[in-house]
Amino acid sequence: MKRFISLLAAALVLFTAGIALAETYYVNVAARSDLNVRQGRGYDKKVIGHLLRKEKVDVKKTHDDGWMEISYQKGTAYVRKEFLSKKEPSGESGKNAFPTLKLQSKDPAVKTLQRNLNTILGTDLKVSGKFDKDTKALVCQFQRENDLKEDGIVGPKTWAKIIDLR
């Protein structure tokens, strides 16, 4: 009888651990490539946004069908798990994995910046991937409204605030 109770207790521990693993919340998971973010689980669901390669998201829940529920623009969205990596991209960590951007920067991260500025500030800045004078003006507005140094340069502190607010 003791052996049966021990086995039952072990099975219960394994079962409980399995539930905990299924609900694991991953922070700062990187996109392996550029990808669409969807409104629901399935390729037939509406695309509501995009992630760029190495852009970080927080995973709220993993589903058995291969979809992951992520925090996205102050809400919830879905991506396929094979497009996210729990491993940090080489040489990068945390929320400041984006490059420092300034006037005349040309980098895929500029598009991410421009999309986020449009979302946060409610503007319709052209998402061109080029850090032009219009982008700089919105960066300065964002920095001023969020008590950051208003220099028009998007460094670690500005990125961190953008990521917290999106």
Q: Is the pLDDT of residue 148 over 60?
A: yes
Which pLDDT score is estimated for 28? 67
Q: Domain locations in the chain?
A: 24-93, 98-165
Task: Output the six-digit token pair for 106.
Answer: 């040309």
User: Domain 24-93 is in which class?
Assistant: mainly beta
Q: Are 154 and 108 in contact (CB under 8 A)?
A: no
Which tens digit of pLDDT belongs to each residue from 50-74?
Answer: 888 788 787 878 888 888 888 887 7
| Architecture of the domain spanning 98-165 | Orthogonal Bundle (1.10)
List, edge to edge, every strand of the sheet that includes 35-38. 47-51, 35-38, 75-80, 67-72, 56-62, 26-31, 84-85
1: number of Cβ within 10 Å = 5
In the predicted model, what is the mean pLDDT of the chain?
A: 78
Alpha helix stretches (DSSP H) within the chain:
2-22, 108-121, 133-145, 156-165
pLDDT average, residue stretch 117-127 = 92
CA–CA distances in Å: residue 146 to residues 94, 125, 135, 140, 158: 21, 19, 16, 10, 9
Give per-residue pLDDT as tens, 75-121: 888 998 888 876 433 334 444 457 899 999 988 788 889 988 998 99
